[in-house]
Amino acid sequence: MNSTAYVSIVVLYVLVMLAVGYWCMRRTKDVGDFFLGGRTLGPWMSAFAYGTTYFSAVLFIGYAGKLGWAYGIHTMWIVLGNTLVGTLLAWKILAGRTRDMTSRLNAITMPEFLRARYAGKGLQPVAALVVFVFLVPYSASVLMGLSYLFEMTLHISYESALYFLTALTAVYLVMGGYFAVAVSDFIRGIVEFAGVLIMVYLLAHRPEIGGFVSATSKLISDPTAAPGLAGVKQLGAGSWLAVTAPGWLTLLALVMITSFGPWALPQMVQKFYSIRSKADVTRAMTIASVFAVFLAFGAYFSGALTHLYYGPKLPAELIGAKGPIWDKIMPHFITTSGLPVALVMIIVLMVFSASMSSLSSLVLVSSSAIAIDLYGALVDRHAHPKRTMALMRIMCAVFVGGSLFIALKKPTFIVNLMIMSWGTLLGVFLAPYVYGLFWKRTTKAGVYAGIFVGLASAVTLFSKWGQDGVPLAGAVTMLLPLVVVPAVSLMTAPPDKELLAKAFGEGEPTVPSGSGH
């Protein structure tokens, strides 16, 4: 099978996705349909939408390559965190409460939720700008990972792949919105699940590796990927921000960011808003957790296998002027490991599916930040639904264009782009969102203070600690507002009781769990 046949299969797959988008466009009548699918999604679609958004090309290309090579079998700690904390506990603790509270507050985005929960008009535009600005680099990292894979498997230039993927994402989303994303995610989720099982089995059974059991045994005893032996590096030396970062500390930071990310990232929380009813949460939690353990394990275990395939050193073609080209390790591994070409195509479609799901959610959430939240803070979106819909579609294209611009610059490696994006968004949203769901004493002043500290620490630490310190800087950025928000809240006047009664559903008839707004 030659590269033309590869491209033909991808084009056929794309046409199916576009057909789904067109069908869904005919069912999309208002902003609620476009952004949340009318809050009518069942457990299977909600769970698959969550899982496919969580795991993208950044995982299969950037994370599996760089972290698999750097930490080997120790990346299984990330798998454990992503499954238990990022999926199981996120659904168990947050999903039902989020679904109910956002329905009562008539909020369909994270910025709109913050405005309604804390009666802070200024919170909505501030949060909207943070969402739009800091999701752009994450979207760019997904585009980069997928483009590198296309370049090495389909023999399409990196730039051509970028333009193709950018145009596809824009057209697809402008047509169908969230309902199109959810229906497609179900199809893509099946492809991903089957693809990751095939990938792990085939890569582990290469002659150089010796099978799953043998590979696991070798990885456990591999001395070249032990983070505890990585030594100690000082970040920001000569400054009051200097900190020592041994390998295990960096790994712990990565576990925290990637596992707590779904607790506050707008594109992940959106899945809780849109589920049909609170009764569907338990089933969605089970489905999403099973999906997560297989996807995360498949990606990181495959990345760890690069140690057994390449030996102690990477081949010359993976070494650039500034060191290893981390983002090309997994595409090179997949395309040079002697896999049958048809199976390589399955892996390509798997990563393609994961990436399109993530891109779709990122673009949708970011466009809503401008069309619903920034514009909505000035003009009532309910009074001008058609204008808001048109603006959302325009902003989808604008956001994709910004992501394309960054991806064309080819930043050093995509893992850091994702961590910087996730770390900043967690610093801004995790504390206000979680405390807002569970702690009535949280105040508007506390939320403003938390957002300020999150942004300030992100800007300061990411620039001061450099590339090597990005994971640790992201973890610190995430944790600081969790202390600041309650501290400031306790020092300021309690929130209005009527506001709390509305948010927590006290003294009013319970909103039927299957209803939407």
Cα Dmax for the chain: 69
The answer to whether position 429 is within a domain reads: no
The answer to whether position 477 is within a domain reads: no
- CATH number of the domain enclosing 384: 1.20.1730.10
The answer to whether position 93 is within a domain reads: yes
- The pTM score is 0.82
CB 172 within 8 A of CB 18: yes
Q: Give which of 357, 353, 287 is closest to 44, Cα–Cα.
A: 287
pLDDT at position 432 is 96
- More confident position, 17 or 2: 17
Domain holding 57, by residue range, is 3-217+261-406
The answer to whether position 300 is within a domain reads: yes
CA 23 to chain centre: 26
Mean pLDDT (whole number) for 326-343: 79
pLDDT tens column, 430-487: 999 999 999 999 999 999 999 999 999 999 998 888 777 888 999 999 999 999 999 9
The answer to whether position 441 is within a domain reads: no
CB 20 within 8 A of CB 183: yes
Share of the chain above pLDDT 70, in %: 80
pLDDT at position 11 is 78
Q: Quick one: CA dihedral 189, 192, 193, 195, positive or negative?
A: positive
Q: Give which of 332, 310, 304, 328 is closest to 78, Cα–Cα.
A: 304
Q: Give which of 174, 152, 150, 154 is closest to 162, Cα–Cα.
A: 150
pLDDT tens column, 351-393: 777 677 677 777 777 777 777 777 766 666 556 667 776 777 7
What distance in Å separates the CA atoms of residue 182 and residue 185, rounded to the nearest whole number?
Answer: 5
Mean pLDDT (whole number) for 237-262: 78
What distance in Å separates the CA atoms of residue 8 and residue 287, rounded to the nearest whole number?
Answer: 32
Q: Is the pLDDT of residue 79 over 90?
A: yes
Q: How many domains does the chain have?
A: 1
The answer to whether position 495 is within a domain reads: no
**Half-sphere exposure at residue 211, Cβ-oriented, CA atoms within 13 angstroms:** 2
The answer to whether position 22 is within a domain reads: yes
The answer to whether position 486 is within a domain reads: no
- Per-residue DSSP letter, 75: G
Return the minimum-mean-pLDDT range out of 190-194, 236-240, 490-494.
236-240
Token pair 């798997």 is at which residue?
350
